[in-house]
Structures are given as C-alpha cells and as structure tokens.
Amino acid sequence: MTDLSRKEFLRFLAASLGSIYLSGCMDQDKLLSKSLSPDKITPTPFLPDPQNTNSTDPTSEPEEIPTQEPSATPDSVYPDLAVARKGDPEQMVRAAVESLGGMGRFVKPGDVVVVKPNICASYHSYEYAATTNPWVVGAVVKMALESGAKQVKVMDFPFGGTAEQAYRASGIQAEVQKAGGKMVVMSNIKFVETAIPNGKDMKSARIYDDVLRADVLINVPIAKNHELALLTLGLKNLMGVIYDRPYMHINLGQRLADLSTRVPSNLVIVDAVRMLMAHGPTGGNLADVKKADTIIASPDIVAADSYAATMFGYEPDQLIYIKKAVQMGLGIKNLSKLNIKEIDLG
C-alpha cells in the first residue's frame, strides 16, 4: 500500500468531514422538526450552493454587512406608513389603508388576493392575542372585494392543531366567510419547491402555490412576543407560507429576509389591537395581553415591522430579521426618514 500524497489526504479529509457535517445537520433538523412541528416534517438539510462562493454555514456567525437603507420618497403623494388608533378594528383598518391611497392602490379589478394572517394554533380564541384579530381580517377581505378583487383567499399553516380547528377557534373563519372571502386549508401537496434567486443563505424553499400565483399578497400579522425571534411581525409571519419551518430556525433572520425577496408583501397591516407582550408565540394568559387599539399599515414591510417593534420597547436593529432585510435593501427601518400619518379615531 502506497502512502497518500498531501493533496490526496486533504481531499479525503474534506470529504469525510463533509459527510459527518451533513449527517449531523440532518439529525439536528429531525430533532427540530419533532419539537417544533406537530406534523413531524423532516426538512431539507442546508446544502451550500456550489456556484455561490458566498454560501455560509448556517451554524456560523453571519458576516456583518454595512446597513444600506433604500432612499425614502418624501415627494410621494401618500405617506410611507399610517397608524390608526382608538377605533374599532374595522374603522382603524379602513382609516389606515385609506390614508395610504385606499385599497384600490393595491388591489385592482380581477385580482386574486391572498390574505395571510397569523393563525398559529387552535389553543386559544383571539382574546389571548396569539392570532390575528378576526375583525381586522374581515375588514381586509371586505376592502379587497370592494376594490374589485376576483377572489380573496385567507390562509395559514398552523403548527398547533389542525387548520380547521385553528380557523374556527380564532374566529377568523366566521368573519372571512361573512365578508365574502374563502378560507383555504393549505394542502401539503401544493407546496412547490421554488428557487429564491436573491437569497443570501436560503436558495430555495417549498412555498405554497396559491401564494406564488396570487396577484396581491396582503400580510396581516398580529404584533406579539416570540421567545426565539423576540417578536412576530410581518417578516416572521411569512413563515406560514412555507413547508419546512423548522429548517428556517437556523440563521432565522437572514432566511426570513431571503424569503421576503421571493414572497413580497404588497401591503402589510399589523394588528396591534391586542398585543401579546410575553410568552409568545402561543401565550395563554390574559395577563400577558395589552389592549393597544392600534393598526399599522404600510407597503414597506421593514417600516411596518420597525414601527411595531417600538411599541414593545425595542429598537428595530434588535430584531435580526429587520437588520438583515435592511442590509438587502428591502425597506426602511429609520422612522425619522419616513412620512408617517397618525390617525386618532378616539
């Protein structure tokens, strides 16, 4: 037997370590899947893009990139962000969206619209602030149909209980049906492997087909605490459109920003009628709920999330997904640069 050359030995060592790494990632993802998903989904392990020398190990500390916000548009006829307070949910939604130019600015006659609320679990009713307020969602459906939408579909991919149970328990199903919209149970077979060409870390994901085909996506998160991500807001709410959610928790901030490049929100309406201040994302204690009677609306998902973050006492940069989204030029976090319309309905 001849001795290995240095080059052959290094090649052998790299291949062996790569095999061990991939095996470890798959085992870790299986554990994450069992602990975080009731469906025990086995996510696809991270595989660096062989054509992209910037692909990173998701377990490593991401490289710091200088923050570069896009320029604000001070000459725009509409404000960048609207905040309505002290009305009932529908009044506040209508006032905020009208100040941005009305729903007709975002929804055109004949459009198929997907409304994405947060309906994470079937454990509690809306009073516990773990799911989007049903009257907020109903108002969005009404306004989209009033603007001429051909169809308005409302959907989420709950991680606790079945979709049918979560839709009923949240109160959202009743309000959507009353408004003329359609509740969609997201079928596993309709998640489509989709390239994310502008992603820095996540280059593909299984994304729900109806979301990809929609003319308009209206993102309607509830403002709530999240023990891993600090807060669930618009960017985090997009996790409900993909299949392999446990896979997202590795390098979560960057992957949420990556996902938003492929699934952009045409309009973000943050429900802060009742805010879950602690023990999110599922809550369960009314003592953790703050009644704020506020709606935030913006076509800029970063701006909407940044404003909502301040209502919890956070600076936008404290949320890693906001920081990563800004680095990718997806929106503005500096509220002083924004034209903000404040509306008091009280």
pTM of the model: 0.80
In angstroms, rounded to a whole number, what is the distance separating the alpha carbons of residues 155 and 262?
18
Q: How confident is the model at residue 229 (pLDDT cuts 50, 70, 90)?
A: confident
Residue 211 predicted with pLDDT over 60: yes
C-alpha distances out from residue 176 to 16, 103, 104, Å? 54, 17, 19
Residue 4 predicted with pLDDT over 50: no
The mean pLDDT value for 339-343 works out to: 97
Kind of pairing between the strands at 182-183 and 230-232: unpaired
The full set of domain ranges for the chain reads 1-36, 67-344
pLDDT at 154: 98
Please state which of the ranges 55-64, 154-163, 199-208, 262-271 shows the lowest mean pLDDT.
Answer: 55-64
In angstroms, rounded to a whole number, what is the distance separating the alpha carbons of residues 320 and 280?
17
- Minimal CA–CA distance to 279: which of 324, 318, 224? 224
Residue 39 predicted with pLDDT over 90: no
Please state which of the ranges 201-205, 234-238, 242-246 shows the lowest mean pLDDT.
Answer: 242-246
Q: How confident is the model at residue 65 (pLDDT cuts 50, 70, 90)?
A: low
pLDDT at 172: 96
The mean pLDDT value for 305-321 works out to: 95
The class (CATH top level) of 67-344 is: alpha beta
pLDDT at 71: 56
